[in-house]
Structure formats: structure tokens, C-alpha cells
Structure 1
Amino acid sequence: MQTAILIPARDEAEALPRLFAALDDERISQVVVVDNGSRDATGDIARSAGALVVEEPRPGYGQACLAGIERLRLDPPDALVFLDADDFAAARQLAVILQPLDDDEADLVIGERQARGAGGVRWHARMGNRLVLEIMRRLYGAEVRDMGPFRAIRWNTLESLALDDTNYGWYVQMQVRALRAGTRVRGEPVRFERRTVGRSKVSGSLPASVRAGWVMLRTLVVEAARRDPVASRPASVSGGRR
């Protein structure tokens, strides 16, 4: 299965060398870094590592993802992995989220971050995550335990969801539309390490986490109220092996 990696990045010049050093999987056919208006050498470092760099000056996490997807449409892979530029632990665990796709057990696999405490996801980020997931569980019976950005999806599944969110509601929109469309959604436990270089755009700040949490909650409400073909079939969900 040919797999592309999509990395949205803004001011991640410090993080990218370590991330690329951790990427080692024979299924990777292409790495796309979307430079989302960086003021440092993010794009140059990505190019020097052999990545395809897409320039997207318009701000927004989802905006960066959409720009990368548009470029990949020229030569689409079988599957796409979304990976944050500072998630070095995830880069070493590609097999965990790709195996269910290889085994035809899932169409969307979400990495469920396991670390807690000083090195894990900060408490304010966990709280917002938990609220959105609980609402999702009540609405759709979803058993996936995280809204983490480390995830893999079949290309044809991704295209069928017609994602268009340009902000931090991107992953909520993906999960809700997948569930409502009957997509096989699976969660797989992955190790998580808090970033040690650079600065987190969201979880490193309580105000930023609150704003992102509000955006995710608003996106969930909007998506739950939609009446369109994407939401026409019952959901199929499963938890990962534990």
C-alpha cells in the first residue's frame, strides 16, 4: 500500500530534522510538508530532507491540510497519514496505524495517545478532548478514545468525506463525517511524548486550548445537524487492540 505523509507546519524548523530522522517505513511513497506561513526556515529544511513542500500562506490547520491534499490529487496515494511536525513518537509508530488498513480492518485509524503526567497530553487539552468525545459517543456510539491528529485514512475514503473545515475543527469534521457515512473507524493505542523543541500552537497554552476546544465543539454541533449524503448510512466503529 503506497502511503503519503502530510505534515502541516508553521515555524517548525527546529522540530523537522528530528521528525524526518524518525520516519522509516517502506510503505512511505511521499512526504508532503505544508508550510503554513512560517517565518523561519521550515520550508528549506523540509526540502533538504527530500519532502515536497507546498506553500499555503492562509492560516489554519485545516487550510494547510486541504492545500496538501489538493497537491496530492495529482498523483494520489492509497492511504494518507496526518502527522504533526513535533510528534516524534508518532513518526516511529506508523506501522501501528497502517496495519489495520493493510489488513482491511478499517478505513480510518486514529492514534489514541496513551501518555499521561508530566510527559503526556496537558490536562486542559485532555478535558476538551474528553467532552467532544463523550458527545460523539452519545450521538454515534463511537468508541474511539482520542481526537489525536496522528491518523491514517484510505485515499478514496478521504475524498468521499468532502472535508472543508479550515481550522482546528478539521479532525472533528473528519471523525463525524466518517462515522455518519458508515466508515470503518478504529482507534489504536500509540505512545505520546510532549514536544521538547519549539512551542506548541495549541496544547502548550491554556487560552489556545480553550479556543481550539470551542472550535471543535462548534464543529461537532454543526456537523451533527447536517443533512447530506455523507451522513446517510449507519456508522461502524471499533476499538483498537489493547
Structure 2
Amino acid sequence: MTNPSRAPLVDVVLPCLNEAEALPWVLSRIPPGWRAVVVDNGSTDGSADIARGLGATVVDEPRRGFGAACHAGLASATADVVCFCDCDASLDPTSLLPFVEAVRSGDADLVLGRRRPRARGAWPVHARVGNLVLARLLRRRTGLRLHDLGPLRAARREPLLELGLTDRRSGYPLQMVVRAADEGWRIAERDVPYLPRTGVSKVTGTWRGTWQAVRDMSRVLAEPAASAHAVQEGSPR
């Protein structure tokens, strides 16, 4: 990871809730010169201390929620390009290298990872079905022919902040795509290997978690394009 005295080439935001077991592998895969920004979302297993010990920048976000953690990381980032990656070892941060290249070259404004399972059980059926439904709803809403709304992604920091993202729960990744599409961003999708996660999933590991995520995202899709940016941060999700 980057020397703290130098500006990072890229910031990788890693939302974290009790991922002590996965952190060593994830942080070892951060490309040289990039900075890992681990956003601790209330861990009780020592994740924050482990991340610090491995050289990551740790941001504390006490308000629970995937979106809350992601946005806290984005707000703390300083690099021109910011990436997002799960912290459970299901996704390899090195897969982000071509994402960043596409953003820097101007070929795309936002690059998303299309998850390709590498082992049986890496992507539970209920989670995959929920993702498929949302991808189809997104196509109706924006015209984008995307296959996945996964967490691995890259874009420039300032434009991301200007999107005015307000969702602080599971709808955050989808809201990013919807608002980017409304702003005319060029959005690309790249295949990435998807591995069985380390530990227990907090969202899509159960039918209930998947249903909650789909419900959060459905609310995002219901936002009218013209008034989406008028939603206040404190609105219930």
C-alpha cells in the first residue's frame, strides 16, 4: 500500500463489519501505490485494529448500513480515482486495475464488475435471482443493459461526490448507477472472478437479507429522474 506521506494513486474503499478473518488476504491484494480505506461499521472482532496493523487507513462510521460505510469512505478519499470493493475476500482488489485504466483513459466514467462465480456456492441462488430482477428493472429505468449491480467499481472522486448520493443502506450501489446514468455517464461492465466469501454474509447470505436489499434498491428505482437529487440525506430508507 502507499506511503502515508505520499498522495495515493487510487483509494480503495472497503466497507467492513466483522471481517477480521478476510482482511489480511484482501489488504495483501491492494495494488502498489494504492491506499486501502477500511471503513469500520461497528465491528466487534478487532477488524479495525487488524486493518491498521496491516497499513490501511481506517475510518470509523458508527451509523450502520452498507451505504453509510461506502459514503464515509468516499468522503475520506483524496485520490482522483476511487474504487469500491467488498471486504470479505469474495472479490480480488487486483481486478480493479483495468477498471482504473478505463477511467483514467476516458473510455468510461464508471466501471462495474460483473461477478463470475469460480466455485459452487460463491453466489447463492436467492442473491443471484435478486440481482437479475434488479438489473432488469434498472434497464427499464435507464436503458442500461447491465448484468450485475455488484460492489466492485471505479470512478473519479469529484464526479461521484457531485452525484449527491443519499441512500445509506443497501440501495447505495444502485443509486450510484442510476444517478450516473441520469447524468449521461459512460458506464462499462467487466467480468471479474467471484469467490466464496470468508465468514458470514450480512446482507445477501440469507433470503431475508436479500429481500431487504431488493426493497432498498426498489425505492431507489422509484425516484423520479428529475427530482432524484432533491432527496434529503436524512430521508428514511
TM bucket normalised to smaller = 0.7 to 0.9
- Residue 180 of structure 1 contacts residue 230 of structure 1 at CA under 8 Å; is this kept in 2? no
2:40 aligns to what? 35
| Partners of 1:120 and 1:220 in 2: CA distance | 27
Instruction: Kindly indicate whether residue 26 of structure 2 is the aligned counterpart of residue 19 of structure 1.
Output: yes
1:9 aligns to what? 16
1:58 counterpart SS class: coil
* Number of residue pairs matched by the alignment: 223
Instruction: Kindly indicate whether residue 226 of structure 2 is the aligned counterpart of residue 227 of structure 1.
Output: yes
| Partners of 2:141 and 2:65 in 1: CA distance | 27
Q: 1:98 aligns with which of 91, 97, 100?
A: 100
- Residue 36 of structure 1 contacts residue 55 of structure 1 at CA under 8 Å; is this kept in 2? yes
Q: Structure 2 unaligned segments of length 5 or more: list them.
A: 1-7, 231-237
1:210-225 counterparts in 2 under 5 A? 210-222=211-223, 225=224
1:43 Cα deviation after fit: 0.4
- Residue 34 of structure 1 contacts residue 56 of structure 1 at CA under 8 Å; is this kept in 2? yes
Q: Structure 1 unaligned segments of length 5 or more: list them.
A: 232-242
Distance change >3 Å, CA 229–CA 20, structure 1 → 2: closer
Instruction: Kindly indicate whether residue 166 of structure 2 is the aligned counterpart of residue 159 of structure 1.
Output: no
| Partners of 1:181 and 1:31 in 2: CA distance | 28
2:75 aligns to what? 70
2:208 counterpart SS class: helix
| Partners of 2:187 and 2:100 in 1: CA distance | 13
Query: Normalising by the residue count of structure 1, what TM-score does the alignment of the two structures yield?
Result: 0.86
- Residue 111 of structure 1 contacts residue 150 of structure 1 at CA under 8 Å; is this kept in 2? yes
Instruction: Kindly indicate whether residue 48 of structure 2 is the aligned counterpart of residue 49 of structure 1.
Output: no
2:24 counterpart SS class: helix
1:207 aligns to what? 208
Distance change >3 Å, CA 203–CA 217, structure 1 → 2: same
Aligned Cα root-mean-square deviation (Å): 1.9
- Residue 90 of structure 2 contacts residue 196 of structure 2 at CA under 8 Å; is this kept in 1? no
| Partners of 1:171 and 1:39 in 2: CA distance | 25
* Amino acid corresponding to residue 2 of structure 1 in structure 2: L
Query: Normalising by the residue count of structure 2, what TM-score does the alignment of the two structures yield?
Result: 0.88
Q: How many percent of aligned residue pairs carry the same amino acid?
A: 37
- Show CA shifts across 1:149-198 (max 9, x none): 01001112202211111100001100000001001111111111121x21
